[in-house]
Structure 1
């Protein structure tokens, strides 16, 4: 196995830790609501709280990783994730489950932000996009297989066993980090955490319209997926009558469209240019979701049509997210950890806020879900146009 592929496998397995906490959990949402004598809205809070805590925690891990190296905070986060998973497995009520999910998210954030900084340590440009795409290919195992695994675990041992499984996955991730992942930030390149420097770096990033625009292109794209995560299990099982296993298969089809497209991102970026690929893909993403809203609005409520258009929309999104992530970090290699943290936090907060805003309108039918997804797509398109405008105004660096 080449070092490039080995890095993709290791980083992909690490990055999959956090998504596993969502994907294995999704088929259990209706069951958990009944088991803990709670409401659908309260069970959705276990997802919203996870996203918000996951986003906020990224602001801690990035600067710490710039100061002490990549491995120590990554291991600490995985230990916290394991502790939160055990807390979820033992939760006696919904409030306790939400609190444990917050702990789980605070740890899981390390396994997302730090691998992105590791990628930036090793590569830039098309090579970084290619590695990011390979990492996402590994991560794709999670949304395609984890819901099925979750359904099987529920059938055999109940929903609490899902979180016990996640604790074991965290222990395996710690072993992988210790044994297979080298430190990529050498001591001479580490940056001590100084409040003035930290605030200065944040100020620089917030004032960079290209960084902010690209961050929210990916952020609103991810927000659409978060809305789907919070709603789909109830729509698919309640409105369309699917079993947990049927939901898992439909969810896997959507994920397959996304992750198949990610593997084309680097090649298309090299051939046509990353800016053009993002432009085309965001436009397609908006077009498919608006078409879906129009069809559902006028009463064309067909499950196959819903899944088919969501696959097309998510395939467009698969071209956007890895490319936008790399482009956002390209100009900030000296503060890659901080940039990755701030970008990740803003993206997760966008997803959490969008899910919270859509929650009160959810009624178990597809319409509120697809409207919220389309709104996120329109906002991603607006962010893309803002980024394009900012690039044209940016001064050309002297040769």
Structure 2
């Protein structure tokens, strides 16, 4: 339960603002690109903070990093709630990103410390399902609360929720003796370089990077597309964006059921054709809002199935340094791919044919990554 709650910390703070991006832009007098940059600033800070939090977590344990992270997260969320201008809101988003690094990494490594084998696979799949449910609820929650209290009122609800998680985590996480792990800057740089040079590591990470890139690109693009092209209101946008998140839940459930019978490598391969279906839908049915949402839902279905696959396989590759490995994956994911997603949105035309091409290219990259892992780590085929 704690792993589920910690995972939701980052999800909520990143997603509840998505449906209200146009409202934020109007309130703070920002362009579409500037309001998107406010959201991306969170992901960039989260990515950078993970590079520090991951090794510190491996050395000092979960409790001290959890406490520090929750304090920073609460301060950042409070600033967003009280923000009178774009500068204060930006500082709040940066602090939210820095504070979210701890719960994100702890949620991904907590289960591996206590479980193994089939129980670990099942638990990770359950966390992925719970994350999918949160992703479904978050856009609706954002749109609904914004219509009641305004977009700044969202942060007050988050503060209450984060206080509960802080108290719950303090009751469960225990202090442990520091581990003999070097965390000086040069040592960390060399260690990260060694990981990043491994083809299998990069291929496994792509199961997280590529779906996240597609998710961020569409999350930033879709609210404006739905409101400007199809005439959706803010509340309708929040409701509509629940549909793609159902795909995330279905993908996680699919992985949960199949992991009992087949390897995660096979799950990755079996879900891959869904990306091609998404690309075709964007290409052939771009004039219908429902078709656009279903195409996005197909991408999220793949995301939902690939997430537990990535978590399990990266743990097999780096069993003793899961925090550091996940930190590097998360840092590259958010520092690089979130920025790319934002830049893509700056020139992305108001047509879904370009989205179709983007999805097709990403599908090709994922298939290449799967083949690389299968060749270099054939035993993963049976795990």
Q: In structure 2, what is the Cα distance between the partners aligned to 1:200 and 1:122? A: 29
Aligned residues: CA RMSD: 2.4
* 1:266-305 → structure 2 map (5 Å cutoff): 266-281=256-271, 283-296=272-285, 300-305=286-291
* Aligned equivalent of 1:325: 311
Q: Which stretch of structure 1 is more off in the superposition, 132-141 or 59-68?
A: 132-141
Shift in CA distance, 356/46, structure 1 to aligned 2, threshold 3 Å: same
Is 1:309 matched with 2:295? yes
Cα offset, 1:220, TM superposition: 0.7
* Aligned equivalent of 2:67: 75
Deviations 1:49-107 (A, max 9, x none): 21111111111111111111111101211111111111222223334322321111111
Deviating 4+ runs (over 6 angstroms)? none
Shift in CA distance, 266/139, structure 1 to aligned 2, threshold 3 Å: closer
Q: SS where residue 231 of structure 2 aligns?
A: coil
Shift in CA distance, 376/353, structure 1 to aligned 2, threshold 3 Å: farther
Q: SS where residue 334 of structure 1 aligns?
A: coil
Cα offset, 1:361, TM superposition: 1.7
Cα offset, 1:388, TM superposition: 2.8
* Aligned equivalent of 2:206: 216
Q: In structure 1, what is the Cα distance between the partners aligned to 2:117 and 2:32? A: 43
1:202 to 192, 198, 216: 192
Is 1:236 matched with 2:226? yes
Q: TM-score, normalised by structure 1?
A: 0.87
Shift in CA distance, 72/15, structure 1 to aligned 2, threshold 3 Å: same
Contact 2:46 2:334 in 1 (8 A): yes
Contact 1:262 1:322 in 2 (8 A): yes
* Aligned equivalent of 2:81: 89
Q: Which stretch of structure 1 is more off in the superposition, 368-377 or 68-77?
A: 368-377
Contact 1:233 1:247 in 2 (8 A): yes
2:173 to 182, 186, 189: 182
Q: In structure 1, what is the Cα distance between the partners aligned to 2:60 and 2:335? A: 26
Q: TM-score, normalised by structure 2?
A: 0.91
Cα offset, 1:116, TM superposition: 0.9
Shift in CA distance, 83/130, structure 1 to aligned 2, threshold 3 Å: same
Q: SS where residue 272 of structure 1 aligns?
A: coil
Deviations 1:109-147 (A, max 9, x none): 211112212122123444323212211222233222222
Contact 1:214 1:325 in 2 (8 A): no
* Aligned equivalent of 2:365: 379
* Aligned equivalent of 2:325: 339
Q: Which stretch of structure 1 is more off in the superposition, 301-310 or 385-394?
A: 385-394
Deviations 1:1-24 (A, max 9, x none): xxxxxxxx2211111011101221
* Aligned equivalent of 2:215: 225
* Aligned equivalent of 1:29: 21
Cα offset, 1:173, TM superposition: 1.6
Consecutive unaligned residues in structure 1, runs of 5 or more: 1-8, 395-399
Q: SS where residue 92 of structure 1 aligns?
A: coil
Q: In structure 2, what is the Cα distance between the partners aligned to 1:360 and 1:152? A: 28
Q: In structure 1, what is the Cα distance between the partners aligned to 2:263 and 2:379? A: 19
Q: SS where residue 87 of structure 1 aligns?
A: helix
* Aligned equivalent of 1:129: 121
Cα offset, 1:371, TM superposition: 4.4
Deviations 1:218-241 (A, max 9, x none): 111111111111111111222112
* Aligned equivalent of 1:114: 106
Contact 2:146 2:153 in 1 (8 A): yes
Shift in CA distance, 199/39, structure 1 to aligned 2, threshold 3 Å: closer
2:334 to 318, 323, 348: 348
* Aligned equivalent of 1:3: none
Q: In structure 2, what is the Cα distance between the partners aligned to 1:120 and 1:46? A: 34
1:259 to 232, 244, 249: 249
Q: In structure 2, what is the Cα distance between the partners aligned to 1:339 and 1:124? A: 18
* Aligned pairs, number: 380
Is 1:152 matched with 2:152? no
Q: Which stretch of structure 1 is more off in the superposition, 63-72 or 302-311?
A: 302-311
Cα offset, 1:272, TM superposition: 2.2
Q: In structure 2, what is the Cα distance between the partners aligned to 1:350 and 1:389? A: 27
Shift in CA distance, 313/141, structure 1 to aligned 2, threshold 3 Å: closer
Cα offset, 1:304, TM superposition: 1.8
Contact 2:250 2:304 in 1 (8 A): yes
Contact 1:224 1:374 in 2 (8 A): no
